[in-house]
Structure 1
Amino acid sequence: MFIDKFKDKRVYLPFVIVITSVLALVIMISLKQPPEEKEADQVAPLVKVEPIRFEPMQLDVNSHGLVTPKFKTQLVAQISGEISFIAPEFVRGGFVKQGQILARINDSDYQAYVIEARAALLSAKAGLQQEQALGAVAKDEWSRIKDRKPTALSLREPQLAQEQARVHAAEAALARAESNLERTIIRAPFHALIESRQVSLGSYVNPGNAVGEALSVSEAEVRLPVADNQLKFLINEGVGAKVILRGELQGQQTSWEAKIIRTEGVIDNQSRMAYLVAELVNPYGLQVPKPGDQTLSQATEHPLRFGSYVRAEVEGISLPQAALVPRHLIVDGKVPTLTAEHTLLFKPVTSLREQGTMVVVVDGVSDQDQLIVSALQYPVEGMPLRLPSEKKASVEKPNELNSTESTEQKEALAKKSD
C-alpha cells in the first residue's frame, strides 16, 4: 500500500516541478519593472563665439623703404695741384659742418697769380689815367681851333676805350686768380657725413678729379612704395601725412617720426607701385654747431642711419565706426553669427580692406553680434547650436538618471533577498 502511494507521487512530481517553475517565472516577469525612458541626447553642434566690436578706426597704409640722404654731393677739385692739408674729420663716417675746410691744395702758385693780376690791374689803371689826361689836353687844344672839327682819333677816344678795356681785362684776371686761390680750399657744402675720401696728403689732383663724397645730415628721405589701390585710404594721396618709421637700432625696436613731402607722380614699370617720399629732419640728431665750433656733436641716442631698412605706417583716413573680423570667417561675403534663439545665421557684410589676417568691416553686422569663430562641419542656416556653458548641464543630467536607476536596483535586490 505504501509502495503504491509512493509510485503515484513519482508520477505527479515532474508535473508539480514544471508548474512551480512556470508560476515562479510568471511572478518574476510580473515583478520586473520596464526600463525607464531616457531623454534623447542633444545633437546640436557645440560652437565658440566672440562679440563683434565696432569702434573708431584709423586706416594706416603700411610700406617700407631705405633711408637715404636728401642731398648727396661728390666733392671734386676745380684746379690742379698737390694736396697739402686734410682735416681730421675728413674721413669716412666723419661729421663736418657747413663751410668747414676739408682739404687744401698747395696755393703758392695761385698766390703768385693773384699778385701778378693785381700788378697788371694797377698798370692798366695807370695807363687809363694817362690816356684820360691826354684826351683832356687834346680836347682843350681843339677847342681853340674854330675853322675845323676834331675827329675821334684826334680827341684820343679810341685810345681811351682801349685803356678802359685793358682795365676791365685786368680786373677779370684778378677775379679769376682770386677765385682759383679760393678753390685751393675744399669746403663742406652743408652739414654732412663723409661717405668716402679719394685723396691723401701729397696726392696730385686735376680739375674734375674726385676728392670725396658728402651726405647731407640735415634731412633724410625714405622712398615708400604703395599699391595703387591703397592710395584711396590716404588724404591728398598722402602729401602732408604723418609717418611713423620703425626699425632696429642696436638690436632694439625704435621709431622715428617723418612726414610725406611729395609723390613721384608715376607708376614704376617693374613693381607697378606708386611711390611716396617721406622726409625726416635731422636724422642723426646732431646738435646745431655754434659759430665758433668746428665739428658737429650728436645730441640723441637714437640716430636713423643712412641705408637703414625701416617699416613705415602712413597716416590714413579715419572711420567713425568699423570692426575687425578674421579673414577666414568670411565666405562668399558672409559671416556666421549666433542668434538669440541659438541658431545659425549667415550675415552679408561690407568689407573695406584686408589688414593682415583681419578684414575691416563697416556694414552688415552690428556691435556685440555673436560671431561664430569655431569651425562647423556641415553648416546649415537655421540649425540649432549650443555654447560650452550648455554642454555642462547636458552632461550632469545623465549622471542623475544613472544614480536614480542604481538606487532602485539596490532596493529590488534587497526585497529578493528578504
Structure 2
Amino acid sequence: MTKKLVKILAPVVVIAVSAGAYALLQATRPEPEKNSDGPRPTSVYTTGVSQQATALEVITQGEVRSRTEIDLVSQVGGRVVSVSPEFVEGGRIEPGVPLLQVEDADYRLALSQARSRMADAELAVQQALADQDVARKQLRNDPNASDLALKKPQVAQARALREAARASLEQAELDLERTRFTLPFAGRVASTRVHIGQFITPGTVLGKVFGTELVEVRLPLNNQQLASLGLPIGYIAPAGGGLPVTFSAQVAGEIHQWQGKLVRLDASVDADTRMLYAIAEVADPYGSAASASGMPLAVGLFVDARIEGRYLPSAMTIPASALRAGNMVYLINGEDRLEIRGVTVAHASTERAIISAGLEPGERVITSAIRNPVEGMALVAVDAEEATP
C-alpha cells in the first residue's frame, strides 16, 4: 500500500517542485534595459554639387571606312601580260601607276587603221572643197544653180565622214590607253581576282580597292547626344571646320588615338534604329594622321569616338553615380535627412552628369547605394573624396 502511494505522489511532488522553481526564477529575473535611442542612421557617401564652365562631351562608336571604295573593272578585253607587285591584298596604289597591263597588239593595229581612215577622210574633205570651188566658178553666172551642182552636200558628207573617222581614232587611242589599268587616287588593294596570263573581257571585276586620302567614321547619335552637340539635323560644316573628334582603339595590345573632325549630320533619322548618324573625317590616315606611335587609322577598325560638344559657361556637375533612374538624385539636407529630388539632365556620361535645373551649388548629393530609400530617413554623411584612399 505504501509503495503504491509513493508511485502516485512522486510525480506530483516533482511537478510541484518544478513549478515552484520556475516561479522563483521568474520573480528574481533582472529587468531588461530599455533602448531609448531611435533607429540607427544609415551611413552614405556624399559629394558636393559643383558649378563650373563645362564643355559637353559625346561618347559613341563607329567603324572606319574609306570615302572612296570601288571595284576595279576592265573596260577592254585581252590577256593579262603584266601585273604590278603592288597588286596584292594590302598593296599600295599610287595615282597613275599601272597595276595591270593587257596585251595591246590588237589595239595598236586598230589605232593604225583608225589613223589611216582619218587620213583618207581628210583627203576626201580637201577633194570635196576643191570640187566645190571648181563648181562655184563654173556656175557663177547661173543664179538658179542647185546646191547639188555647187557640191554643198558632197562637202557636208565629206566633213561628216571626217568627224566619224576622228571619233574612231579617238576611240582607238582610248582603248589602247585602257590596256593599262591605273587609278586617279592613292589607295590600297583590298582584294584581287585576276592573275598574269588570264584572259579578261570588258566588265570583268579585277579586284577591289579603296582610297587612303580620306577615311570616314559613321557615328550613331541618340536624341540626348544630339542635344549635347547643339547641331541641327542635316548640319554641314564649313570648309576646314567641324567639331573636334578624338578616336581611340586597342590595336596590337596598345591604346592608340587619332584626331578628326565631325563634318556633317545625316538629313534624316534612321527608320530602323531611330538614331541619327554623324560623319567624322580623318585626312591621310595612313600618313600624317597616324597615332603618336605610327599606327594608321586602318579601314575596318572599330573605334570609340569622343566628340567635343557645346560649351556651357555655368553648369551643375555631379558624379554619374549620383544620378538615379528616372533622372532622380538623393540629397542629404541640413537635418541629415534623405531628400529625393527630380532634376533636368543636360548631359550624362559614364563619369559625370551635367544638371541644368534642380540643384544648387554646394548641396550634398549621395553617391552610394541606399537600400529601401524612404524620404526623410536619418543619414550619416561620409565624404566620398575623403573616403577614397
Residue 118 of structure 1: aligned partner = 115
- For 1:194 and 1:300, the matched residues in 2 are separated by 24
Residue 188 of structure 2: aligned partner = 193
Give the residue type in structure 2 aligned to 1:348. Answer: R
1:112 is displaced (CA, Å) by: 0.9
Residue 350 of structure 1 contacts residue 361 of structure 1 at CA under 8 Å; is this kept in 2?
Answer: yes
Residue 221 of structure 2 contacts residue 276 of structure 2 at CA under 8 Å; is this kept in 1?
Answer: yes
Residue 178 of structure 1: aligned partner = 173
Residue 264 of structure 2: aligned partner = 262
Alignment match of 2:203 (pick from 203, 208, 226)? 208
Gaps of 5+ in 1: 1-38, 288-296, 390-418
TM-score normalised by structure 1 residue count: 0.72
Gaps of 5+ in 2: 1-34, 237-241, 384-389
- For 2:69 and 2:372, the matched residues in 1 are separated by 64
Report the 3-state secondary structure (helix = DSSP H, G, I; strand = E; otherwise coil) of the residue aligned with 1:59.
strand
1:71 is displaced (CA, Å) by: 0.9
1:119 is displaced (CA, Å) by: 0.9
- Structure ranking higher in strand proportion: 2
Residue 360 of structure 2: aligned partner = 366
Alignment match of 1:67 (pick from 61, 64, 67)? 64
- Structure ranking higher in helix proportion: 1
1:279-305 C-alpha deviation (Å, 9 max, x unpaired)? 111111169xxxxxxxxx999712011
CA distance 1:336–1:316, change in 2 (3 Å): same
- For 1:282 and 1:336, the matched residues in 2 are separated by 50
- For 2:323 and 2:153, the matched residues in 1 are separated by 98
Q: Which stretch shifts more, 266-275 or 71-80? A: 266-275
CA distance 1:202–1:336, change in 2 (3 Å): same
Is 1:47 the equivalent of 2:43?
A: yes
1:166-216 C-alpha deviation (Å, 9 max, x unpaired)? 211111111111111111111023111111111111111111001121101
TM-score normalised by structure 2 residue count: 0.77
How many residues align? The count is 340
Residue 49 of structure 1 contacts residue 370 of structure 1 at CA under 8 Å; is this kept in 2?
Answer: no
Report the 3-state secondary structure (helix = DSSP H, G, I; strand = E; otherwise coil) of the residue aligned with 2:344.
strand
CA distance 1:42–1:280, change in 2 (3 Å): same
- For 2:153 and 2:323, the matched residues in 1 are separated by 98
Report the 3-state secondary structure (helix = DSSP H, G, I; strand = E; otherwise coil) of the residue aligned with 1:91.
coil
Report the 3-state secondary structure (helix = DSSP H, G, I; strand = E; otherwise coil) of the residue aligned with 1:248.
strand
Q: Which stretch shifts more, 58-67 or 267-276? A: 267-276
Alignment match of 1:225 (pick from 220, 228, 239)? 220
Give the residue type in structure 2 aligned to 1:138. Answer: A
- For 1:377 and 1:286, the matched residues in 2 are separated by 54
Residue 9 of structure 1: aligned partner = none
Q: How does 1:126-205 map to 2 (within 5 A)?
A: 126-143=123-140, 145=141, 149-205=144-200
1:348 is displaced (CA, Å) by: 2.8
Alignment match of 1:317 (pick from 310, 318, 342)? 310
1:86 is displaced (CA, Å) by: 1.0
CA distance 1:251–1:263, change in 2 (3 Å): same
1:160 is displaced (CA, Å) by: 1.8
